[in-house]
Structure 1
Amino acid sequence: MARENFNDLQVFVTVARERSFTRAAAQLGVSQSALSHTVRALEERLGVRLLTRTTRNVSMTEAGERLYLSVAPRLEEIEAEIAAVAEYRDHPAGTIRITASEHVANTVVWPRLAHVLPRYPDLKVELTIDYGLADIVEQRYDIGIRLGERVAQGMIAVPVTGPQRMAIVGSPAYFRAHAAPQRPGDLAAHDCIGLRLPTHGGLMVWDLRKDEQNVNVRVQGQWTFNSSIAMHRAALAGAGLAYLLEDMVLEDIAAGRLQRVMQDWCDVFDGFHAYYPSRRQSSSALRVVIDALRV
């Protein structure tokens, strides 16, 4: 049966259950004549009589009873599911899927949502670590978290951190064996820890800026990782210079575990944003998560 005829089935089920066009019309909020026309049209399409009408009541034929017993429970299930889905508007429930880089997952998503989720036992979060700039629509994520400049067009974006800055760092042991670089050209003589980007398989370029100069440096070294956490660990171990978010290394710099170089070449840029498709109706679960993440 065509999808547009489900309303006709609902009309038939209501009339059959009430055994009255009058009561069914009052329940559905339409006229008796409209109900009679709908049932008659349904019977004509099926080629069988479903209801027997008398001046006093309405009864089902054998075919009508069979259709009623088959369809009525299914329509009730559909109505129950629709009602359950509608509750999502007001009651935070369901799973919110988030994709983010490892550092942001550890320093933003986890600490902020860990205090919120206990208040909403029906709300679940699935957090995927990803450096690949996933298409959140195609891969069915609810939220992506990226630097502001990398948020796809047409998305609603809210800031989850303030402005960010990169830092070039190495351990004291590394600098005992290597002179500190002063300018981008000096990096060619250093072991630089690389980050492999899954988007295109290439290594991340170190984007350095000073005054009006903008230099993209393709560094080389003995170690390459696909995780900034691993890069951080390698830098602490003296494996080379690492190009990391400043807030990842500030405590190590203050404690003397890492030394910073070329700070004047590391400019401030837009911070991280949580974003989601503008065309998606915002559920209460999504709103709870976004509100917890925003700064």
Structure 2
Amino acid sequence: MVRISTFALSLLAASALVEPASAAGPPIAYAKEVGSGFSIFVTNPNGTGTLKLYSGPSKNSLVLDMNPALSGGFNELAVVASRATGFKIIRYSDAGVVQPIQNFDDGCYVDSLDYHPTNGSLLVVRRCNNPQLVELRIWSGGSYGAPIASTDGMNNSYRSARWLGDGSGFLVRYGEVGVGTVIQRRNMSNPSTPSPVWSSTDLGAALNLDTARCAGALDSSCMKFLYGDGADRVHEVRYSDFGMESDTVVIANGWGGRYSPDNSRILHRVRVKNGFTLNVTNPQQETAAKAVYNDADWRP
């Protein structure tokens, strides 16, 4: 059983008094450039209650994902440094007290990782040099399962993957030279058989993939995803069991869209001179002031 120190509990109580509307702790995590590297902070959508959790290695950008389910009573996020292999797990209290950081490093780079909605496993796009391969795997309980899909990464490759809202499968961005980019839907009942839900002849299309959250079974309300087009626009794609139904620009000036827990708001970066601001929509609200941001996520 995980025990929290008396000091940590006192900090938690103090935090609850300062932020009564945020009993579960600040729900947004982001990576911000500080000095020669990036650090991870958590904050509320309006920018209050900001806490610093972690400072990454120098000259590395950071990719992060927040665990929807509490782990042993703590919040949890997974972090990847751009120039390092493997990934780290950071657990912290609502008051920002960080537990010993766990490092999982098998010598391969991680290009994408996403927590399952309920069971704490990670869907990982993993890139290794010896032998050369890019593969999809599920990490759970300290180790990887067998590859779901793999390639040598020469003429085709996987870039990012996100669980479907109910965890029944996932979407993955697949690119192939001479063909372009396809967003594939794969069900865990038969993950080796992909179904396309979106495609483009542009090999660099569909950046920053994010899937909608579900309260229960996958239905039309959460059969949608966000992507960036590389031209400061965030698109929302709606799809069905038969493929794509619509592709709509939902943010005309934004990067890196992430759905809120109920899908009503979108966390995104807005380009300004010499940097970005971190914002949420509906209503449009600044979450963090101008800086260089690398990644952000919103915990349910």
Indicate the structure (1 or 2) with the bigger Cα radius of gyration.
Answer: 1
Higher relative contact order (CA 8 A, sep 6+): 1
In terms of fraction of residues, the more strand-rich structure is 2
In terms of fraction of residues, the more helix-rich structure is 1
TM range (shorter): under 0.3
TM-score (normalizing by structure 1): 0.23
